[in-house]
Chain A
């Protein structure tokens, strides 16, 4: 039945629907990025640009301000974007790694090593999920300033680990609980200590779950706005999410440039998804 004709057709329909739903609105952005400003301003809206061109993309690759952008009253121009993109990539990779290490350790710890008060402590950490960022920004900004961690990548990574960590830990905790207990116990009987049992036995079993988590938290960190807005003031650390808002001008916005920036900023996350796919094992297909 599973491999039956009906379920295969259903799945095809679902796949087409997923692709259309995700890509449909996205195509509007891609079309905008390939248009001229005149095409974008055209009334009624054009489905397709009259003069498709890659000027907007070239302005990012060459790192030059688009012609005439000076008078638009914008806080940035395409020449800054490369730095921001680099910052986003490095911060995201480091932060995701830290989030995974910290949260898998904690999730495993809470699921295996029951100690007095371990459950209340765990739910207290998970409860941090509920904390609205508005309530903590002032004190957080002050703490980071006192520790001289403003405009440092290290500071950003710490804050992302602290704010994203609770959700990551909860996901990891659930996974650890689903793991069959026998292999770890067997390893312990064989003379492994808890640590060795974790690294050699439990961790490999969690591989695909961790890969999915990796995708989730890379994207979550990639999309952060308010925290880097406050903690990453210069191009030394400023990520694309913050830099892109600076392309919006006071008098005019170069829409093709803004849309092209958005499209370029999608490439790293898309690569992440492609790479991680091979790690997310198919339950029923079994193979990869």
Chain B
């Protein structure tokens, strides 16, 4: 009979996606909300939220991969796990499209929406916005200026021809045996460089309807993959890159074994200049991605805050997002936890006061930001990524030809999109 009780508890129907505004008139003081993110944030900052709004906060953390698992299980069980959660750019289609999250466009204050600007679209799917951007993560190269000096290279190359030359010079002068570090293993971190290279070689992987455009021979995606293969063949990249992830690639750079970390970013730049975590501090410098005839696009991988449909304290959750996106908090969070703000006001303030780690290059890179899915990631991104990880890695290792890998991936993507 114990079973009957349990079964009865499970028969309640799923909550439906309601796109109306969340009523913010009801008092939220004294409520308690749970916030679930993959990064630790100092308690002193969080205490300010309770002081400002009277809402109590339970701040929970889980490592990034595990967090996705947790959210998927909780949502599939139609059970609430938190009132505000991480929403990575890559989850938007999956989480928004299935009604697991609350549309925010009518609930966020207009000032916040304006301040977040372009990033809102990345978190939009099926005409609803499901998260507010809080971490403007991106991929651009970083290089070791001391090693560049030693090789007599004065500035970071701005075109791919110049990059090839620089790599040959670094290698010829024995500055580093394998001058470039890049993850090419079969993981999400291992396909990001391919995305980045495709964008900076003037292409895209998908058109505006999210249809794949990477299968044509000679397309930038083709050239990007060929560049990765050449990099291994020419000894620009260590042979082990074919089985390594992005953290391992960063380690090669911070350990001084590589002069360039190709698909790096603002967070890694800070780490690479931190004496306790890097042998080469303070010689790491950021750079714009090379392009066809001058600096190319920077790959944007932003993270946002969303509100699960199962939340019982949506008004308090909105209050949290509003508080978190306010400029003073954005500045504090950046200084203490390192999330580069998405907010235009906070970014402007940081570059004015000179507090931007990595300096003008980061501000410059923001201008070149290009997401993989400017109109929100599709529902099938996870399935696509898994297929891409295997096929791109197989092509890099020589198990599959570039043509075959990309046409297989394209066919698989079309099938996914039609499912």
Contacts and interface: CB of A to CB of B under 8 A. Distances in A.
Touch test A–B (CB under 8 Å): yes
Contact of A245 (B60, B63, B76): B63
B336 interface: yes
Most central of B61, B76, B78, B267 by chain A CB within 10 Å: B61
10 contacts: A41-B278, A70-B337, A71-B338, A75-B40, A138-B77, A142-B10, A226-B69, A233-B62, A245-B66, A246-B61
Interface size class of B (residues with CB under 8 A): 35 or more
A71 B60 CA distance: 18
Nearest to A43: B257
Interface of B: 6, 9-10, 36-40, 58, 60-64, 66, 69-70, 73-74, 76-81, 247, 250-252, 254-257, 265, 267-268, 270-271, 274-279, 336-338
Contacts of A143: 6, 9-10
Contact of B250 (A70, A226, A251): A251
A248 B256 CA distance: 21
Contact of A67 (B79, B270, B276): B276
B276 A68 contact: yes
Interface string A56-93: 00000000001110111111110000000000000000
A252 B61 contact: no
The residue among A43, A77, A137, A254 with the most chain B CB atoms within 10 A of its own CB is: A43
A286 B73 CA distance: 51
A141 B267 contact: no
A68 B262 CA distance: 23
Given A146-B6, A234-B60, A252-B250, 15 more contacts: A37-B276, A38-B278, A43-B252, A71-B271, A72-B267, A72-B271, A73-B267, A75-B63, A77-B40, A139-B10, A142-B77, A142-B78, A229-B70, A233-B70, A252-B277
B330 to A, nearest CB: 16
A37 B277 contact: yes
Nearest to A42: B255
Interface residues on A, range: 35 or more
A183 to B, nearest CB: 37
A233 B247 CA distance: 26
Contacts of A252: 247, 250-251, 254, 268, 271, 277-278
Closest 3 CB pairs of A and B: A41-B255, A142-B77, A251-B267
Given A73-B39, A76-B40, A138-B76, A229 B6 contact: no
Interface in A8-61: 37-38, 40-43
A74 B77 CA distance: 28
Contacts of B62: 75, 229, 233, 242, 246
Nearest to B64: A250
Interface of A: 37-38, 40-43, 66-68, 70-77, 137-139, 141-143, 145-147, 226, 229-230, 233-234, 242, 245-246, 248-254
Contacts of A74: 39-40
A250 B39 contact: yes
Contact of B70 (A66, A230, A249): A230
B150 to A, nearest CB: 17
Contacts of A76: 40, 61
A71 B77 contact: no
A251 B279 contact: no
B77 A72 contact: no
Residue among B37, B252, B276, B336 with the highest chain A CB neighbour number at 10 A: B276
Contacts of B256: 41, 43
Nearest to A254: B277
A123 B277 CA distance: 54
A87 B77 CA distance: 26
Nearest to B337: A70
A68 B281 CA distance: 12
A38 B61 contact: no
B340 to A, nearest CB: 11
Nearest to B82: A233
